[in-house]
Amino acid sequence: MFCLVLHSHLPWLPHHGRWPVGEEWLYQSWAASYLPVTEVLRRLADEGRSHLLTLGVTPVLAAQLDDPHSLAGMHHWLGNWQMRAHEAALGGKPDLGVREHRAAAHALDLFENRWRHGGSAVVRELVDADTVELLGGPLAHPFQPLLDARLRAFSLTEGLADARARWGHTPNGIWAPECGYTPGLERLYDRAGVRHFMVDGPSLHGDTALGRPVRESEVVAFGRDLPVSYRVWSPKSGYPGHAAYRDFHTYDHATGLKPSRVTGRTVGSEDKAPYDPALAEAALDKHVADFVDTVRARLRAESDRVGREALVVAAFDTELFGHWWYEGPQWLEKVLRALPEAGIRVGTLDDARRDGFVGDAVELDDSSWGSGKDWRVWAGDQVADIVQLNAEVVGTALDTVDKALDAAPHVRNHVADQILREALLTVSSDWAFMVSKDSAAGYARERAHKHAHATREICDALASGRTDRAHALASGWNQADSLFPGLDARRLPPAQTVNPEITP
């Protein structure tokens, strides 16, 4: 069996800057990836195709796709895209203008007819039709191995509850943020009803031909097959770097549109050749055939190696398809048609687990899918200050919330809710990742410290008895960070109920 897994995630961006890495990041990804990828899946579903892939949508992304501010901003952004296409056509670039105008008009039509009232209905339609298996995850995408055990348990169970509220479906599996793992997480997963989760291939020492129950649990870890996954997305040899595909980095500075093809890896932006859709289409067909051949050969080799039918799991960020790789959604549709035509069974991770593509238990160790496949991206020297910040903020938040709940344990406390909301946003794995990778590091540090400040400010007011001030602060911060309305601090596990073996 072949399983394709897509991980859809962005940090919380509404109300926290617009350009270049604030809301613009959300709208670009929405237009280039989420709109066309779900359109591909819906088109295949309309043909009666099911169990096509496993789709992870993190709670924090789901919140943005349902957020009224984001929906209004996205509608405005799509209209602006169409206007920029007009400017290109009038500014002496008719081919670029016509192509982009056509794409913007199609995106606007999709958005207004399918997405205008939120993304939940779009995702739920695919889940209800068995087009995809849905993977959930913990609230706000924390790097779980470094997170306080109580907040770790709370963020997971609340994340699964958030999925149920949005889509009427509680996921059987999760995409653990950054594929981060530490021994004991499998017990937390088991208690939460999670039956399987993703790890990177090296976590299983490259032996990804079968899912593996983790330690003494029945929770199955599925490993990303790197030889197959890297065939698509590799900095050195992946398909998106082909000369015929649209270049991500080269812009027409007058309109912000992308007029060029890759041309060559060492060719400067000013020397890039114009984008040619016909050349891109020919490259797509070649790469679809290559991928099918790669999967077939890998399945045969792995089946021979393990002496039984094997599994291949290829996993990618959803944003690769369209945002980073313009032709990615077209490639995805062609591959999902070509694999079954070549006699390759396609299924979901849930299918693989239920149909017995599971081997012997494994003693999984500390791991991630980051550099070095360890925790260095989120715990290395370059982010030591963020690790310390996270620990301090979480400690302050939990102490304050505990005291507030002790005073009135049965009453919904919106101040305590907002404290946990801001603490979870502080510990988002994205901030350390962006700093370690030097990708908008200034923005990432600013965001981590802003949410830390919000947490501390509310906690200080509450701890000093200024209850009215605490309520005013919580309400004010909630205007910017209003995600997860179902979050309820009363469900935070008491300290004595958390297994100390999984405390970091």
CATH number of the CATH domain containing 303: 3.20.110.10
Confidence of residue 307 (pLDDT cuts 50, 70, 90): very high
Q: What is the structure's pLDDT at 234?
A: 84
List Cβ neighbours of 19 (8 Å cut-off, separation of 6 or more): none
Report if residue 182 sits inside a domain.
Answer: yes
User: Same domain, yes or no, for 346 and 221?
Assistant: yes
Half-sphere exposure of 156 (CA within 13 A, CB side): 27
Report if residue 148 sits inside a domain.
Answer: no
Q: For residue 278, count CB atoms less than 10 angstroms from its CB and return exposed for 0-12, middle for 13-18, buried for 19 or more.
A: exposed
Confidence of residue 374 (pLDDT cuts 50, 70, 90): very high
Report if residue 150 sits inside a domain.
Answer: no
User: Same domain, yes or no, for 315 and 428?
Assistant: no
Confidence of residue 500 (pLDDT cuts 50, 70, 90): very low
Report if residue 313 sits inside a domain.
Answer: yes
CA distance linking residue 357 with residue 211, whole number of Å: 6
User: Same domain, yes or no, for 463 and 415?
Assistant: yes
Q: Which residues are catalytic?
A: 178, 317
Q: How far is CA 116 from CA 38, 61, 119, 437, in A?
A: 14, 16, 8, 34
Report if residue 165 sits inside a domain.
Answer: no
Q: What is the structure's pLDDT at 499?
A: 57
Q: Which of 371, 401, 428 is the C-terminal boundary of a domain?
A: 371
Q: Domain of 394: which CATH number?
A: 1.20.1430.10
User: Same domain, yes or no, for 460 and 478?
Assistant: yes
User: Same domain, yes or no, for 23 and 113?
Assistant: yes
Q: What is the structure's pLDDT at 20?
A: 85
User: Same domain, yes or no, for 267 and 395?
Assistant: no
Report if residue 153 sits inside a domain.
Answer: no
Report if residue 168 sits inside a domain.
Answer: no
Q: Which of 351, 371, 391 is the C-terminal boundary of a domain?
A: 371
CA distance linking residue 325 with residue 233, whole number of Å: 10
* pLDDT greater than 60 at residue 196: yes
Report if residue 41 sits inside a domain.
Answer: yes
287 contacts 331 by C-beta, under 8 angstroms: yes
CA neighbor of 157 nearest in space, from 195, 108, 210, 194: 194
Mean pLDDT of the chain: 96
User: Same domain, yes or no, for 230 and 365?
Assistant: yes
Q: What is the structure's pLDDT at 501?
A: 47
Work out how many domains the chain is built from and give that number.
2
User: Same domain, yes or no, for 320 and 451?
Assistant: no
Q: Which of 321, 346, 371 is the C-terminal boundary of a domain?
A: 371
Q: How far is CA 67 from CA 24, 70, 172, 323, 406, in A?
A: 15, 5, 25, 21, 32
To the nearest whole percent, how much of the chain has pLDDT over 90? 96
Measured from the Cβ of residue 446, the count of other Cβ atoms closer than 10 Å reads: 14
Confidence of residue 498 (pLDDT cuts 50, 70, 90): low
Confidence of residue 224 (pLDDT cuts 50, 70, 90): very high
Q: What is the pLDDT of residues 29-66, one digit of tens each?
A: 999 999 999 999 999 999 999 999 999 999 999 999 99
| Average pLDDT of the segment spanning 198-212 | 97
User: Same domain, yes or no, for 364 and 391?
Assistant: no
To the nearest whole percent, how much of the chain has pLDDT over 70? 98
Q: What is the structure's pLDDT at 497?
A: 63
User: Same domain, yes or no, for 26 and 101?
Assistant: yes
Element (H, E) at 270: none
Q: What is the structure's pLDDT at 252?
A: 94
Q: What is the structure's pLDDT at 503?
A: 45
Structural domain for 408, as ranges: 380-502
CA neighbor of 4 nearest in space, from 164, 279, 192, 233: 233
User: Same domain, yes or no, for 353 and 319?
Assistant: yes
Q: 0.85 cut: is pTM over it?
A: yes
| Average pLDDT of the segment spanning 271-290 | 97
User: Same domain, yes or no, for 238 and 93?
Assistant: yes
Q: What is the pLDDT of residues 450-495, one digit of tens each?
A: 999 999 999 999 999 999 999 999 999 999 999 999 999 999 999 8
